Structure 1
Amino acid sequence: MWLYSLMEGLDTKGLLFFFFTFLLINDYFMNKKPLNFPPGPWALPILGNVFNIDIKQPHIYLTKLATVYGDIFSLRLGRDKTVFVTGYKMVKEVLVTQAENFVHRPPGAMVERIYSGNGLFFSNGYKWKKQRRFALSTLRNFGLGKKTLESFIIEEIRFLQEELQQKNAQPLDPHMLLISAVSNIICQLVFGHRFDYSDDKFQTLLKLLSETVHLEGSIWSQLYEAFPAVMKVLPGPHNDIFSHNEKLFAFVKEEVEKHKQDWDPSSPRDYIDSFLTEIKNNAEDPAAGFSETNLIYCALDLFLAGTETTSTTLHWALLYMIKYPEVAEEVQAEIDRMIGEARQPTMADRVNMPYTDAVIHEIQRKGNIVPLNGLRMASKDTTVGGYFIPKGTAVMVNLTSVLFDKNEWEDPDSFNPAHFLDNNGKFVRRDAFLPFSAGKRICLGEQLAKMEVFLFFTSLLQKFNFSCLPGVEPSFEGRVGVTLTPLPFKMCATPR
């Protein structure tokens, strides 16, 4: 009654002041940090730190914050607090030492609207374990780590080489050629067939995929996650994320419908066929996630992950070879020495090509393809680096800080293949080389990506010299989304 009487006596300005004060006080108590919670910059009431982050280079901004607040710090993004973990030592603590505690994905407005708990990336618990195990076993059945998959990759390389030959050393933007070639490998495994580079529908979908990956890692995605109720009714590029996903979903659904027409459970041809069989076999276990809806989400996740990261790696590879022609020449000398000019490179050659292997690893390190890892969530109260992390807290590990950790790399800011070579020129593995993340959520396509990158890279340098247009210097600034992609550029591929 007293509150009603007080409000009744207020004018409009007083009423607004009252509500504003009430919101500030409520915001303070609702977002008060627990005792010994990781420190961080002061956050605006209601808005938090979402507008503090450098939208062009968030990974660099977050790495610099660690120099101020330490390897573990926190930011408030809208309503929620997120803990950021920096440097190899602390990242390993989260991803490996406490892997079981940080295996879950936190809830999110955008993820819930798109996935509703489905898929390989954003599902949790029993469903995630069943689907990840099934995806790995199925991909192995259809060639992952075997000669059959290697033959798919080699066949696709020939198509790509033919396209480059036809360009006759004329300037070209390599983006769509690379993404088409790489995507066709995962398409063989998931859909059972490849697409021609001239297929307009396929090219349109690949462009939608690239733009979606960019937007999902942009400030628009962060704003949607921080203020979903407001952003849901506002115009802006964030709406393209949902419309693009709907089109990609429809594409995969069409592939599933085609498979159902001539599906033979006794003779599966690909991932979709195998999943359809599991739907039939797991009818009494709905929690496992074997449904047609989840099939589409899981296939879409594989299509997306199997396309974007590897094509981006090869994109950076060409840029670095153009920037450092002396490195390209040494790679080509090793290729000529160990393989020759005519024979197609195979995975068996890698063990005898330490310099080429080191260059590929340094491209992945310096290229920094996935600058930030996917969000994790503490499934119980825990301590990391001496700080208290309450159950349910979102945690982001900064992979950039690992790949450029000054305590782990002799010269982290320079492109230096010697990071992966010993004094005798032999290849050496580095613990802080984590481009595929680590722990229980490590990229399930790591083995496929390594095969693709080695075979595509060596095959392209075996047959072509790459250069920029006269007077043009390649840019290494990059375009940040979920992945860090090169800015558009044109190059010449000249047959050797």
Structure 2
Amino acid sequence: MIFHNLLDYLDFNIGLIGIFVFLLLTDIIKNKKPRDFPPGPWRPPFVGNIFTGVDYKTIEKLAEKHGEVFSVTWGSETTVFISGHKMVKEALVTKLDSFAERPVIPLFDKVYKGRGVSMSNGYGWKMQRKFAITHLRYFGEAKKNLEMSIQQESVFLCEAFKQERSPFNPQMYLNTAVSNIISALIFGHRFDYHDERFLNVLQWDIDAVILAGSSHAHLYNIFPRLFDYIPGPHQRMFNNYSKIIEFLKDEIRKHKENWDPSDPRDYIDAYLTEMEKKKTDPEAGFNIETLVFSSLDLFEAGTETTSTTIRWALLYLIKYPQIQKKVQAEIDRVIGQTRQPNLDDRANMPYTEAVIHEIQRMGNIAPLGFPRRASKDTTLGGYFIPKGTSVTVSLSSVLNDKSEWETPDTFNPGHFLDDQGQFRKRDAFMPFSAGRRACLGEPLARMELFLFLTALLQRFTFSPEPGEELSLEGQLGFTKAPGPYHLCVSPR
């Protein structure tokens, strides 16, 4: 009897061992890398490098150990990371078509389902991007309309700041001001700074961007089917996006009620007209669903990154009051106090331009950019990267490349000034990324940064809340943003 039970026990354990070996071999075969594939940390079976962080500081440490082109595997999904100015430039600029696609990112695919501008690929992406660029330019009337819109919004923003009699957090004011510029282009109108419905939309978006960088969001990308049923921050993110989408659908519904195809007022009107024209070309993707997500793309990108950069700007100018004074001196000398700043002033304000660029470099708001996918078999740095491989470019490593910047860890506007004090461009300045997937809102963002910041510094001097210790460390979500802080404004 005992012998029989022992045999049963051994048979059971041998069966378990057999199943384990089978699964292990399946995992090894499935994740076998091709010859000359980028190296990386050892991958434990089944779960991969699940305990390896995805933050940019962890990636920088891995690059120091494994080189500027290396790979990390989470679950069964492998990502190749590219670091350093030389390698990043080769990947995005020299090999322009090699990394021009987007991978399927479960976290965002659940929201976008491959639609819109940022998450689509192929013919549909080309058509959507071309339309967005053409019509944003059209409604901006070759920059002049946009310039006037930003100048007008600067007046509203300065007035809101002026009304604050005690230390305050500038985030919602800045988000509203910046969002009003892209809102005027997409929806044809701006929103009041106290519009509760619109402020809710902005807050949902702020939260969603933070939540997208959470550990739950990372785990969702590894085990999407499992985490669909697990509560956590990722579920709140999905809920936030659902409410933002309802807001966009409502705006589109209002447009359809009084839409005149012969007189487009804004991006939505123009898109509705294009839908009629492209009925015979369904692959181009012009339909209501795509309109919703392309509007979400433009609205979110046109709000979050620029407003975050301006928050970094005010924080750095408070931390370095002597630099704030030098910018104000240049404003007083070139613009004075009796007229609004305009874009023509940029050419005569090299120090201000240098400070804005250095804020973007140090603010480093998109340290790992946005994931890409190899659109064809290619080689980089002597390594083979097969078509379809997910690729992430470390923009942080470019903005802090020790071989490109004299003092990479120090806030130094001199990085962008020549020996005569004139503004100089730097090849390693890539806050908007580069190549075919570079941020299409770069021209607008540059206009906003200059006009909003010069208007604010023309009117006010900024200082910290008494007793508050300001940190430049920042908080990491999907972007890198300043932690909440309060400031004081003194009219000049």
TM-score class, shorter: over 0.9
2:23 counterpart residue number: 23
1:247 counterpart residue number: 243
- Normalised by the length of structure 2, the TM-score is 0.96
2:383 counterpart residue number: 387
Distance 1:14-1:196 versus aligned 2 partners, 3 A rule: farther
2:109 counterpart residue number: 112
1:156 paired with 2:163, answer no
1:33 counterpart residue number: 33
Distance 1:368-1:222 versus aligned 2 partners, 3 A rule: same
Q: Deviations over 1:164-184 (max 9, x none)?
A: 11113x110011111111101
2: CA distance, partners of 1:341 / 1:129:
45
1:235 counterpart residue number: 231
Q: CA shift at 1:18, angstroms? A: 3.6
2: CA distance, partners of 1:53 / 1:261:
49
- Normalised by the length of structure 1, the TM-score is 0.96
Further displaced range: 424-433 or 137-146: 137-146
Letter in 1 for 2:231: P
Further displaced range: 212-221 or 258-267: 212-221
2:463 counterpart residue number: 467
2:82 counterpart residue number: 85
Secondary structure at 1:268's aligned position in 2?
Answer: coil
Letter in 1 for 2:154: I
Q: CA shift at 1:241, angstroms? A: 2.0
Equivalent residues in 2 for 1:253-268, closer than 5 Å: 253-268=249-264
1:180 counterpart residue number: 176
1: CA distance, partners of 2:398 / 2:250:
41
Secondary structure at 1:101's aligned position in 2?
Answer: coil
Letter in 2 for 1:334: E
Contact 2:85/2:401, CA 8 A, preserved across alignment = yes
2:73 counterpart residue number: 76
1: CA distance, partners of 2:364 / 2:142:
25
Letter in 1 for 2:491: P
1:124 counterpart residue number: 121
2: CA distance, partners of 1:178 / 1:354:
24
Equivalent residues in 2 for 1:480-491, closer than 5 Å: 480-491=476-487
Contact 1:104/1:378, CA 8 A, preserved across alignment = yes
1:223 counterpart residue number: 219
Distance 1:260-1:10 versus aligned 2 partners, 3 A rule: farther
1: CA distance, partners of 2:262 / 2:129:
22
Q: Deviations over 1:35-73 (max 9, x none)?
A: 11111111221211131116xxx1111112111111000
2:133 counterpart residue number: 136
Letter in 2 for 1:418: G
Q: Deviations over 1:3-42 (max 9, x none)?
A: xxxx998665554444333322221221122111111111
- Unpaired runs of at least 5, structure 1: 1-6
Q: CA shift at 1:244, angstroms? A: 1.2
Q: Deviations over 1:431-471 (max 9, x none)?
A: 10000000111110000000000000101011111111223
CA RMSD across the alignment? 1.5
Contact 1:106/1:375, CA 8 A, preserved across alignment = yes
Equivalent residues in 2 for 1:312-391, closer than 5 Å: 312-391=308-387
1:103 aligns with one of 81, 100, 105: 100
1: CA distance, partners of 2:15 / 2:235:
35
Distance 1:390-1:332 versus aligned 2 partners, 3 A rule: same
2: CA distance, partners of 1:404 / 1:229:
38
Letter in 1 for 2:459: K
Contact 1:99/1:439, CA 8 A, preserved across alignment = yes
Contact 2:41/2:72, CA 8 A, preserved across alignment = yes
Contact 1:369/1:484, CA 8 A, preserved across alignment = yes
Secondary structure at 1:363's aligned position in 2?
Answer: helix
Distance 1:182-1:12 versus aligned 2 partners, 3 A rule: farther
Contact 1:59/1:400, CA 8 A, preserved across alignment = yes
Further displaced range: 477-486 or 11-20: 11-20
2: CA distance, partners of 1:242 / 1:16:
39
Contact 1:82/1:395, CA 8 A, preserved across alignment = yes
Q: CA shift at 1:144, angstroms? A: 6.0
1: CA distance, partners of 2:16 / 2:106:
29
1:409 counterpart residue number: 405
Letter in 1 for 2:445: A
Further displaced range: 229-238 or 175-184: 229-238
Letter in 2 for 1:360: I
Contact 1:212/1:241, CA 8 A, preserved across alignment = yes
Q: CA shift at 1:77, angstroms? A: 1.4
Distance 1:218-1:97 versus aligned 2 partners, 3 A rule: farther
- Unpaired runs of at least 5, structure 2: 1-6
Letter in 2 for 1:395: V
1: CA distance, partners of 2:226 / 2:313:
41
Distance 1:11-1:178 versus aligned 2 partners, 3 A rule: farther
Q: Deviations over 1:116-137 (max 9, x none)?
A: 2211000000000001010001
2:206 counterpart residue number: 210
Q: CA shift at 1:479, angstroms? A: 1.1
Contact 1:145/1:447, CA 8 A, preserved across alignment = no
Contact 1:145/1:448, CA 8 A, preserved across alignment = no
1: CA distance, partners of 2:12 / 2:200:
53
Equivalent residues in 2 for 1:294-313, closer than 5 Å: 294-313=290-309
1: CA distance, partners of 2:418 / 2:347:
15
1:458 paired with 2:459, answer no
Secondary structure at 2:221's aligned position in 1?
Answer: helix
Contact 2:214/2:233, CA 8 A, preserved across alignment = no
Contact 1:130/1:288, CA 8 A, preserved across alignment = yes
How many pairs were matched up? 486
1:47 paired with 2:43, answer no
2: CA distance, partners of 1:95 / 1:174:
35
Further displaced range: 63-72 or 395-404: 63-72
1:431 aligns with one of 427, 441, 455: 427
Contact 1:372/1:482, CA 8 A, preserved across alignment = no
1:396 counterpart residue number: 392
1: CA distance, partners of 2:213 / 2:338:
42
